Amino acid sequence: MPAFFDSKSKLLDLLYKDSKTKKNNFEHWQLTDDRVILFDADKSRNFFVSFQNCGYTRFNAPTENYARDQILKYAGEVFDYFGDAIETVLRVGYRETRVNPVEDFDSLSQRLIQNFVKTDGSFFKSLNCPMYDVALFPMVFKHGSNKFQVTLGPMKKDQLQTVWEGGDDLPDQALFADVDYYAIQPPRPANLRNYVAEFLSKARDVNAKIVGDFTANILNL
């Protein structure tokens, strides 16, 4: 979007300071050739805008609605600023990752096998060997016109650190659950902010179901 390159400074002014409170929304900012980046010193929050996309990241959100509200606040400002200059939408997504500490790693692996692997089929019987462990595996579901991918698996601390480099307070072993809710090339809505608000509500409902019922069943909570 060519209009982006002439608007980086204006976007920075718009996003960095709250227009009502006059307080800074983030602690730091950075301009590159193709991005406007805003972030906090501890890197717990990050929002960026480029000529192709925008995205918001938050670690350890304080409430269930926090990330949704922050996305609507900052992405909404971008949508309103560019308006009809945004002609097409290639992808909209909301991704949530949870780490649930577990005491018995082997027991977790067995519960995942029992829930998701059909080991009584002819192939497994011909092996004549019990399945001992599982790794991360993705499952893709369709939800109306949208889709979501659930990636589950047991992980130990050294593996978790590859996902969150330098992450603090990670458990020694855990159930890793990642939900990526997305739409590919949805029709361009008349009001992009309202569309994203509705999309995030659907994503939140799916994530709550998975985090609440799905993982609780595996963890026997």
d(CA 106, CA 34): 46
For the segment 115-129, the average pLDDT, to the nearest whole number, is 80
pLDDT the model gives residue 165:
64
CB atoms < 10 A from the CB of 79, how many? 18
The residues spanned by each domain of the chain are 2-87, 92-219
pLDDT the model gives residue 168:
67
28: nearest Cα among 39, 37, 13, 19:
39
d(CA 13, CA 117): 52
pLDDT the model gives residue 199:
96
d(CA 48, CA 34): 10
Summarize pLDDT for 124-149 with one digit per residue, the tens.
Answer: 788 888 777 777 778 999 999 999 99
CA distances 201 to 64, 106, 117, 131, 181, Å, are 11, 36, 31, 38, 11
Q: What's the whole-model pTM score?
A: 0.86
Confidence of residue 1 (pLDDT cuts 50, 70, 90): low
Summarize pLDDT for 43-55 with one digit per residue, the tens.
Answer: 889 999 998 999 9
d(CA 218, CA 107): 10
